[in-house]
Each structure stands twice: as C-alpha cells, then as structure tokens.
C-alpha cells in the first residue's frame, strides 16, 4: 500500500463529503486499504469533519488567500492531528507536505506555504482548547434555540464535538462489552475492532446507540406476539423484538440494508420474517399486536456520530420527511389491531419530526392514547407534557451523551370505541 495510505484515504472521504456524499456512502473510497488503515482513515476523516470550522479559525490567521480545496483539506487534516489528536509536529507537518507534494504541479507549488503555515499552527494548542464547539447549521440551530434556548443549543453542540462512544444491546441473560448504562444498554468508550470483542462471534450482542434501543424497550414486546417493525433496516430494533420471543416481521424498502439485517440476525441466532416492500403500500395478512415505526427522518439527532450530516444537508427535505412520517403513522394505525400499541420514533432534534407529529396524529385519530414511558433509567424531565419521550445529545454528559430521539407509545382504541 502507498505510504500514508490512511491519510490519503481520509482526504478522499473528506473530498467526498465536500461534494455532497455521506461518509456512509463512501465505502469504495477506502475499500482497498488494509483494515487498520481503513479504520484510521475513517477516524481521521471524522476528526476533521467534527472540527472543520475550528481548524479554519486557526488556519485563516496564517493564510493570505484561500488555498485550493484539496490543499485546504490537507491543511485541515494536519491541524486536527496537531491540535486535537496530539500528533507530534514533525510527523503531522512532514506528512502534510508529502501529501500536498503528491497532488501534482499546483500541489508542489504549495509545499512551502503548507510547511510554513503548519509550523505556526502547531503553536496554537492553548487557543484551540478555548475555541467554542462547532455550531450547528442555521436551519437546525434556529429551531433548537427556539425550542430549548441558547444554553441547551451549546450543550448539544458540545456533545456533537465530543463524538460518540460505542453502545451495545445484549440478548436476554447475556452481557456486552463495556459498562452497563441506566437504560439497559452497554457502553465502551475506547476504540477497537468490533468483531474482535468477546461475545461477537457468539452473537451475544449488537451495536446500537442507547437512545435507539429505548424505542423497542418502550414497545415492551412479549413472547409470541405478532409485531411489525416498519422501516426496520439495518435491524437493531428487529433483533430486540426477536430476542424477546416475538413473532417479528421486518419491513423495509432497501434491499441492501435488509441484507445487513439478515446478516445481523444470522450472527445473533435470531429469526424474523424479512420483507422488502414500501411500508406505505405493505399490508400484513392479519392485524399485528404491536408496531414499531422508526420513521425516515432528518437524522439530526445523530450528528455526534455523523458529523458529515450538517455539511451535506440544508434542511430542504424536512417538510417532505414530516409529511411522510404522518402518512406512515396513519398507515400503521390502520393496519394495527384494535387495542394494539404503536411506538413512533425519529432520530431527530426537530419538533416538526417529533412533538408536532404527536400532536397532529392525536388530532387526526380521536381516541388514540399516549402511554407515558415507565422504564428503568428514564429521567422524569425527558418525558414531555404530551407523554412522549424527548432524548437529546446533551443528556448523560458524564457518561458520553446519547443520540437525539423523539419516541412515543400510542394505544389504538378498542373496536367500536
């Protein structure tokens, strides 16, 4: 493999984000790297994306004009390595010079500038520590401030800045790596190869953010119940339902994501009926006892794990997503048996995709009841006046935060009511 393969891979990923591609869609950009280099490339790219404005705030002090995008990316990478990751100055600076020199004639012409700028940047450690966290884009920050205020917005941004540890959900009567969390998940703060951890080959657990795992726990699946997981892939919640002994049907429109779901089920020794279909068009043979609807959304609650999201989205899709969520809710209630329960969830910070959806569906469906959460580890202040559950990245600051979610459990009226 070429020298500095991981850094080159990181720059390819960063360039892809600059062009509007999510990191999760760029597996091919680093597919030829060795597993350790691939992991390092991802780690470096995440570090830059999580600190891109902070790096620019330092770099602009030493640049007479804005460099070409690929050269600026190399400067950002070295800046983050120096000031955030603690890389030795000679290593980070020399690596950046080598990367730029390999970018052709215009890169070679910039070598002297890159070397001089980064040697100055290496002295900015104290200033770096005082820089504020990366701000959310206005289309997200404005509604967050309007809902919770400036102080909470900064706390959420701080959680985004800190990134996310790895959480696991364990099968009943088993445990997972890391420390137990109040809600029943497990958390490992240090890195490492997931497949090498104890219990992976045995299928004792799977990776799933602690906030996401609460949705299935709130549904309270029972052995033998017929439960539908709408928009199910990649399957963390499906596996929770199956592990509880439910008869699960997992529905999703994405064939590739359903393949991942099947692989996860097989590794963990769990079974579910997997259906590739548009959730809005699909109908079960008979009304299920319960439905879990983790609806498509803006994913704004997951920025701590996906710092590329604010850079590739502009909020223009939110109105359409909110309309889709409402249609999915109505369809789920239509196919649910009378008296059955429905858990609605979105990994969003926006009330438009959470609290507002709950208020609207209650108006559209008289007799629908919100059942307040009663689960271990749920703080009373997380429960909204409506009876929904609002989770935010700034919760659990001492434990490493959580994804932002809105979750609500609804009870359909009995027939004839």
Burial of residue 238 (number of CB atoms within 10 Å: 0-12, 13-18, 19+) = buried
In the DSSP assignment, the letter for residue 383 is B
Neighbours of 121 (CB within 10 A): 24
* Residue whose tokens read 């070679």: 108
Cα separation values, 206 from 55, 234, 264, Å: 35, 11, 8
Q: Give the H/E segment covering residue 375.
A: none
Contact partners, residue 190, CB within 8 Å, separation at least 6: none
Instruction: Give me the torsion for CA of 241, 368, 301, 153, rounded to 10°.
Output: -150
Residue 119: closest CA among 143, 146, 96, 144: 96
Cβ distance 304 to 160 under 8 Å? yes
Provide the strand spans (E) within 131-281: 166-170, 179-180, 186-188, 205-207, 226-230, 247-252, 273-276
Catalytic residue among 231, 268, 297, 347: 347
CA 13 to chain centre: 17
Is 231 in the active site?
no
Q: Which residue numbers are catalytic?
A: 347
């Amino acid at each position: 493999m070429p020298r500095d393969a991981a850094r080159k891979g990181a720059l390819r990923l960063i360039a892809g984000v600059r062009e509007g591609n999510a990191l999760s869609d760029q597996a091919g950009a680093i597919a030829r790297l060795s597993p350790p280099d691939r992991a390092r490339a991802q780690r470096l790219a995440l570090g830059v994306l999580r600190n891109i404005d902070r790096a620019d705030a330092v770099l602009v002090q030493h640049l007479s004009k804005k460099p070409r995008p690929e050269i600026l990316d190399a400067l950002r990478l070295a800046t983050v390595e120096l000031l955030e990751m603690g890389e030795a100055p000679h290593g980070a600076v020399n690596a950046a010079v080598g990367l730029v020199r390999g970018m052709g004639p215009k890169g070679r012409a910039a070598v002297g500038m890159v070397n001089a700028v980064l040697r100055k940047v290496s002295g900015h450690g104290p200033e770096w520590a005082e820089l504020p966290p990366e701000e959310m884009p206005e289309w997200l920050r404005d509604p967050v401030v309007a809902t919770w205020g400036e102080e909470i917005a900064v706390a959420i941004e701080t959680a985004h800045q800190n990134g996310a540890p790895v959480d696991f959900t364990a099968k009943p009567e088993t445990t997972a790596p890391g420390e137990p969390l109040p809600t029943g998940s497990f958390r490992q703060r240090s890195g490492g190869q997931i497949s090498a951890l104890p219990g992976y080959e045995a299928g004792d657990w799977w990776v799933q953010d602690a906030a996401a795992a609460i949705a299935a726990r709130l549904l309270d699946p029972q052995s033998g119940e017929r439960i539908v997981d709408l928009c199910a892939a990649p399957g963390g919640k499906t596996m929770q339902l199956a592990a509880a002994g439910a008869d699960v049907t997992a529905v999703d429109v994405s064939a590739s994501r359903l393949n991942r779901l099947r692989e996860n089920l097989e590794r963990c020794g769990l079974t579910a009926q997997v259906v590739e279909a548009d959730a809005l068009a699909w109908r079960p043979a008979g009304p299920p006892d319960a439905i879990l609807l983790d609806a498509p959304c803006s994913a704004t609650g997951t920025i701590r794990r996906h710092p590329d999201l604010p850079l590739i989205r502009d909020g223009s899709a939110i109105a359409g997503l909110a309309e889709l969520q409402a249609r999915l809710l109505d369809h789920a209630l239509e196919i649910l048996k009378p008296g059955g329960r429905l858990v609605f969830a979105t990994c969003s910070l926006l009330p438009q995709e959470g609290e507002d959806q709950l208020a609207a569906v209650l108006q559209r469906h008289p007799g629908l009841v919100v059942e307040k959460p009663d689960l271990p580890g749920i703080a009373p202040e997380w429960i909204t006046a409506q009876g929904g559950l609002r989770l935010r990245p700034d919760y659990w600051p001492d434990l490493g935060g959580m994804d932002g979610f809105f979750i609500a459990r609804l009870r359909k009226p009995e027939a004839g009511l």
